[in-house]
Amino acid sequence: MTDPDVETPEVEPIDHHEVTVVAVGMALWALALVVLAVFFRHDLQRHHATWWLWSCAIAIGLGLYGLRFALRRRSRGLLS
């Protein structure tokens, strides 16, 4: 329970570098896609696991949406 006499300090928002985080995540998914497609494509086909390639591609697509979202937030001044 909280004591009404105790004052809680104001919490400042953390300054996130959203564009950098999204770009690095997309780069890692793109690297995974290239590595899987170049070095493991035949193994994935043999074991009926080509969905790994699709997972990487979808993650890159979602990253593009996230990048658009982060850039719009930064351009509107919603980030400090």
Q: How far apart are CA 80 and CA 63, in angstroms?
A: 22
Residue 44 within any structural domain of the chain: yes
Residue 5 within any structural domain of the chain: no
Range of the domain at 39: 18-75
Stretch 20-28: mean pLDDT: 95
Residue 7 within any structural domain of the chain: no
Q: What is the pLDDT of residue 53?
A: 96
Q: What is the pLDDT of residue 41?
A: 93
Stretch 63-77: mean pLDDT: 90
Question: In the chain, how many domains are there?
Answer: 1
The alpha-helical segments, DSSP class H, found in the chain are 18-39, 41-46, 51-75
Cα distances from 42 to residues 36, 47, 59, 64, in angstroms, run 9, 9, 22, 28
14 secondary structure, DSSP code = P
Look over the chain and give the mean of its residue pLDDT values, rounded to a whole number: 88
Q: How far apart are CA 26 and CA 17, in angstroms?
A: 14
Residue 4 within any structural domain of the chain: no
Residue 23 within any structural domain of the chain: yes
Stretch 37-42: mean pLDDT: 95
